[in-house]
Amino acid sequence: MTLARTDLGITRIGGREFRWGERTYVMGIVNVTPDSFSGDGLGGNVEAVLSQARRFVADGVDIIDVGGESTRPGHTAVAEDEELRRVIPVVERLARDVHVPISIDTYKSGVARRAVEAGAFLINDVWGLKRDPAIARVAAEAHVPLVLMHNHDGTSYADLVPDVIASLRHSLEQAQAAGVPWEDLIVDPGIGFGKTVEHNLEVMRRLGEMRCLGRPMLLGTSRKSIIGLVLGLPVDQRVEGTAATVALGIAQGVDIVRVHDVREMVRVCRMSDAIVRGWQRLPTTT
């Protein structure tokens, strides 16, 4: 089985070419929050962030995603000034000292703009332009790609997967109208956002249907409550569950996985890619 999706073209992120369909790319999560659901929030400790980012690079990460506001259920919203205080020093330092593209995880256009000025090359909007449509204009003016995630107030749907697809299609249309090129858009079905456990499982089963949108797909399941509830495990014991979702996502055409455990998930991606996309033998050393 091969899912080479050459029709998706190439997206440039921070000077690097992401050739969709050739392999699965890994986005490493850097939380600069005091209340991350996964317990890995590093707060304002820039040196600790740099150490984590360097470890991610050594483990094979392709993008580092910096977030300054927790998105866990029941989280407290963060004012823009506070979010800027948390993320801008980190983005500046990583952009200077780490040689992989930096992404900013935010739904606020002011934070996105400042982060891009500080060295971020990708904007990851967890509200898919629903909270602050001006983020699309920021991406267009800065010539950086934009991730549009499905999110939803409440958990009520007329028809779950078609509703998610329609919402993402609307976000794509908004972004294009604001001037973001088609090749600079990425979609995310939003596992864990505005969905029950049953909804999340159904979306995971039907990820392949999202390919109708014609854009690369990012999947973020790492350590999430869907895994904890299914397996009855705390956050720090969800690596295997995450690995299962990553592998099954790749089998349905996922192009990027957003993860906490970079080393382990890079290995899962390589093995899954060898089966799904075709095996490229690594060069031998002498």
Question: Which residues are catalytic, by number?
Answer: 224, 258
Q: Coil, strand or helix: which one is 282?
A: coil
> Is-contact 70 33, C-beta < 8 A?
yes
Residues 6+ positions from 126 with CB-CB distance below 8 Å? 71, 105, 106, 107, 149, 151, 190, 193
CA 38 distance to own-chain centroid: 15
- Give the Å distances, CA to CA, from 246 to 76, 108, 231: 29, 28, 16
Q: Crossing angle of helices 46-59/80-97, nearest 10°? A: 50
> Is-contact 45 275, C-beta < 8 A?
no
For 68-194, where are the E strands, in sequence order?
A: 102-105, 122-125, 146-149, 185-188
